Amino acid sequence: MNTPDPTSEKTPDQGHADTTHFGYREVPTAEKQKLVGEVFSSVASKYDLMNDAMSLGIHRVWKRYFVATAQVRKGDRVLDLAGGTGDIAALLRERVGNAGAASKGCVVLGDINGEMLRVGRDRMTNRGNVHGFEYVQCNAEALPFPDASFDLVTIAFGLRNVTDKDAALREMQRVLKVGGQARILEFSEVKADWFKPIYDFHSFKILPKLGKLFAGDSESYQYLAESIRQHPPQDALKAMMETAGFARCDYKNLSAGIVAIHTGYKV
């Protein structure tokens, strides 16, 4: 397994100013967005199938818990960033209500990748989920929404892929209304030592093979495994949220820290 140079001065999430991480590769910062775009364009049509295969369906439990414990009410306007094929948006719509009537809530599904967004919209439409959604192609680092326009902002398995995570966190804070909550669901640092070798074996030996088998693409799933290791661990991400201006920041580990839910509020 390749591991990053532990003596390097770069921070785990951002790298040097003019270069950054793409998995374990150091790439020009300006190129990362394009490389991430290629990953998701390549896997878009098989993305949902792969999620089930990789996690044995556990990602559905994490996502249900993430939405079930969100601070959200009927009639709220919420933003699901890096929403991809819409798992979180569909669950959130159940909580905010159906926007068929003017007084009901709305979920805005924002994603930088047109193909992921297209797969998400088709999937939603095929399931009869027509009302209550807006689809916006946007970069989390520079959101095309006014200040204070959402009651809740979520990002699930998305922040890890964003080049400038600090900018994305600041934007999440900016578009929230006062009292609104930001929620981040992301892979994090596994806390059970006995489980780490099993997790590494699954990540670096099994995932790329599953990617090859189901999506015809092992490299994108090698990137997934590497990007998880490069993502800021729990306390570092909490500190980044505080720096971005969120109050009462906290996190909760799920499945021994395979994933964590971070929360923060705009005050």
Site residues (vs ligand SAM, CB under 6 A): 36, 40, 81-84, 87-88, 111-113, 116, 139-141, 156-158, 161-162
Count of beta carbons in the 10 Å neighbourhood of residue 49: 13
Quote the least distance from Cβ 224 to ligand SAM, whole Å.
8
Length of the chain counted residue by residue = 267
Quote the least distance from Cβ 65 to ligand SAM, whole Å.
13
For Cα atoms 172, 157, 37, give the angle at the middle one, nearest 5 degrees. 90
Cβ distance to ligand SAM smaller for residue 81 or 92: 81
Quote the least distance from Cβ 7 to ligand SAM, whole Å.
29
DSSP strand pairing (77-81 vs 150-156): parallel
Quote the least distance from Cβ 79 to ligand SAM, whole Å.
11
Cβ distance to ligand SAM smaller for residue 8 or 125: 125
Cβ distance to ligand SAM smaller for residue 65 or 75: 65
Cβ distance to ligand SAM smaller for residue 111 or 189: 111
> Distance (Å, rounded) from C-alpha 107 to C-alpha 184?
16
What distances in angstroms separate CA 132 from CA 60, 87, 204, one per listed residue?
21, 14, 39
Sheet of 247-254: strand order equals 133-137, 106-111, 77-81, 150-156, 176-187, 259-265, 247-254
- The closest residue (CB) to ligand SAM is 84
Quote the least distance from Cβ 154 to ligand SAM, whole Å.
8
Question: How far does Cα 68 stand from its chain's mean position?
Answer: 17
Cβ distance to ligand SAM smaller for residue 84 or 132: 84
